[in-house]
């Protein structure tokens, strides 16, 4: 049975009509659910026909996931583990902003991941399945409720959790549409970032939506051969091809693409590699986010990666800045509960009891 979180306004309207109830209630009912994470609050109940609420309560579960665990890190980052109806689990993360009333969310798009990035914990469990649009929406609603419970507002979300979002477009785009739309999730396109390892057709599909989203591309190396060692998906699309797609996004959407670069000692952090990266960025107005490596144990192919030293990382950033590239270090959030980038994974056995 589909949960309410899976439905668009049009789908809910059709369901109401099939029940012989006016479909004019569909938008308001769904909006209330997105606003409160409940079907209806007691103070609102009188606004809906009793027969409608009864029918929904008996035939349409609100959500299909349940909260399995919740962990809070020393820096206030909260990691939520949701159990899906089939027993799989996914993680999403709430990160408090430096502004006291705001926070940001990191959402997963797949159970596991097929991209096999060598330094990523998610990759170690392999790919299980795509998340449905409702499972993605439910992560958003949970994080929004979590933020509210600590007196903050969930202001931005990024699809940077488990999985490659652009390999799950069929469910990702409808979920984003409902989360971003003014009359449902109300987050707004500008508050949403999609992060990819560089799936070129997916970047073009995102460009074609016309939504004013942010795009982040994980490149992690300035040349194709180093990149292919770290991200096997790099063999499928070369950096030139990926950056050309990112250029198309930037031109159409008018907002700088973010290039993510995780600094690994002795692998991609040499000054010469910073020069190569600066050459790649060239006149593009793209921004570089430099990430500190969060140890995940042995890589998939047996390499034991180490984060760059502070000295090497500072020098790398200095070379970029001297060449006119806008580069920032991104703060690691929640590493003590394995909530930082690349550390998310399935925690529990996936087979239902």
- Phi, psi values for residue 301, rounded to 5°: -105, 25
Annotated catalytic residue, options 6, 91, 135, 146: 91
Please identify, using beta-carbon distances, which residue of 134 and 202 lies nearer to ligand SF4. Answer: 202
Q: Which residues bind ligand SF4 (CB under 6 A)?
A: 113, 115-117, 120, 122-123, 162-164, 197, 342
117 is catalytic: no
Q: Following CA atoms 6, 192, 155, 27 in sequence, which dihedral angle do they give, to the nearest 10 degrees? A: -30
Find the farthest-apart pair of alpha carbons in the chain and give their distance in angstroms, rounded: 69
Cα dist from 221 to 261, 268, 302, whole Å: 7, 6, 19
> Please, what is the minimum distance in Å from the beta carbon of residue 178 to ligand SF4?
23
The residues facing 307 across adjacent strands are 264
> Please, what is the minimum distance in Å from the beta carbon of residue 211 to ligand SF4?
21
Please identify, using beta-carbon distances, which residue of 95 and 123 lies nearer to ligand SF4. Answer: 123
113 is catalytic: no
Please identify, using beta-carbon distances, which residue of 6 and 91 lies nearer to ligand SF4. Answer: 91
Annotated catalytic residue, options 113, 117, 120, 341: 341
Could you tell me if residue 8 is left (phi over 0), alpha (psi between -120 and 50 degrees) or otherwise beta? beta
Assess contact for 105 and 80: CB atoms under 8 A: no
> Please, what is the minimum distance in Å from the beta carbon of residue 164 to ligand SF4?
4
> Please, what is the minimum distance in Å from the beta carbon of residue 300 to ligand SF4?
9
- Phi, psi values for residue 294, rounded to 5°: -100, 110
| CB burial readout 298-323, b (16+ within 10 A) else e | ebeeeeebebbeeebbeebbebbeee
Please identify, using beta-carbon distances, which residue of 191 and 294 lies nearer to ligand SF4. Answer: 294
Residues belonging to the active site = 91, 341
């Amino acid at each position: 049975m589909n949960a309410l979180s899976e439905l668009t306004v049009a789908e809910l309207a059709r369901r109401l009509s099939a029940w012989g109830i006016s479909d004019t209630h569909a938008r308001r009912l769904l909006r209330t659910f997105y606003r409160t994470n409940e079907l209806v609050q007691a103070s609102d109940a009188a606004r809906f026909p009793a027969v409608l609420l009864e029918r929904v309560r008996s035939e349409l579960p609100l959500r299909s996931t349940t909260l399995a665990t919740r962990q809070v890190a020393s820096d206030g980052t909260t990691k939520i583990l949701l159990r899906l109806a089939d027993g799989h689990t996914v993680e999403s993360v709430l990160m408090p902003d430096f502004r006291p009333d705001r926070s940001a969310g990191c959402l997963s798009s797949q159970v596991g991941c097929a991209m096999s990035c060598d330094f990523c914990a998610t990759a170690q469990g392999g790919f299980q399945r795509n998340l449905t649009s409702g499972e993605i929406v439910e992560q958003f609603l949970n994080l929004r409720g979590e933020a509210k419970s600590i007196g903050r507002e969930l202001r931005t979300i990024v699809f940077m959790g488990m999985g490659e979002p652009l390999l799950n477009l069929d469910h990702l785009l409808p979920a984003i549409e409902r989360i971003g739309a003014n009359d449902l999730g109300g987050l707004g396109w500008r508050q949403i970032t999609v992060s990819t390892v560089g799936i070129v057709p997916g970047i073009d599909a995102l460009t074609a939506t016309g939504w004013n989203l942010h795009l982040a591309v994980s490149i992690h190396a300035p040349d194709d051969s180093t990149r292919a060692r770290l991200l096997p998906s790099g063999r499928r699309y070369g950096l030139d091809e990926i950056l050309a797609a990112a250029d198309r996004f930037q031109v159409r959407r008018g907002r700088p693409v973010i290039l993510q670069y995780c600094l690994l000692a002795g692998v991609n952090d040499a000054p010469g590699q910073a020069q190569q990266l600066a050459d790649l960025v060239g006149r593009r107005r793209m921004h570089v986010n430099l990430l500190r490596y969060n140890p995940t144990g042995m890589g998939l192919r047996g390499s034991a990666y180490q984060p760059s030293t502070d000295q090497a990382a500072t020098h790398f950033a200095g070379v970029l800045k001297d060449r006119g590239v806008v580069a920032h270090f991104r703060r690691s959030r929640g590493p003590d509960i394995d909530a930082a980038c690349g550390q998310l994974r399935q925690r529990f056995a996936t087979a239902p009891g």
